[in-house]
A and B are shown apart, each in its own frame.
Chain A
């Protein structure tokens, strides 16, 4: 079955430390891949996307993600976390079927940043 897995439900890092959030997908072909961030009670903001080409993609707020086809992964990274990065992060895929961008989301990783 097609799925998106975010194995870490909750991660705590210290401000200034590096961050890596994991995402694995299970699809027959390489889908389009996304990371979104959600602050409490808010909508989702797109951090970055991967369609094709360079497997290391840069996003907003200093985030980057690396697509690894062999591992079916699209992990999100940030070299130095800021307290304002505390939020919930969602990995999503578009399997590219049909004419609509039907996204399948992982269950999210909640990031806590300690000062």
Chain B
């Protein structure tokens, strides 16, 4: 069966510091990968998605970037965090030609 791992679960970072969140998927090949952000009291917003290694699409302009160095690895990064980057970050995957997405357990990022 497929599983998705996301870490760390919780992170507190100072303003201006770098960020790296990692997500890996097991049990499937060539998944579509996604990063969503959930701000307090709001729904989920798609930040990035990837349909293959090295292929990244950004949905919203922001202070973050994403990379996919391996087929089942997806990384969310920032060179300098802003207070507004605080939120709950969720990684997800889906199988091409199918539509449901499966989510990781999320990372709670607090920028102080």
Give the B-binding residues of A (Cβ under 8 A): 4, 32, 34, 36, 41-46, 49, 51, 90, 92, 94, 96, 99-108
Contact = CB atoms under 8 A, between A and B. Distances in A.
18 contacts: A32-B99, A32-B100, A41-B108, A43-B103, A45-B103, A46-B100, A46-B102, A49-B99, A90-B44, A92-B44, A96-B99, A99-B51, A99-B96, A102-B46, A102-B59, A103-B44, A104-B46, A105-B44
Interface in B32-90: 32, 34, 42-46, 49, 51, 57, 59, 90
The secondary-structure label for the interface of chain B is strand
Interface of B: 6, 32, 34, 42-46, 49, 51, 57, 59, 90, 92, 94, 96, 98-106, 108
Contacts of B6: 43
Contact of A100 (B42, B45, B51, B102): B51
A13 B51 CA distance: 41
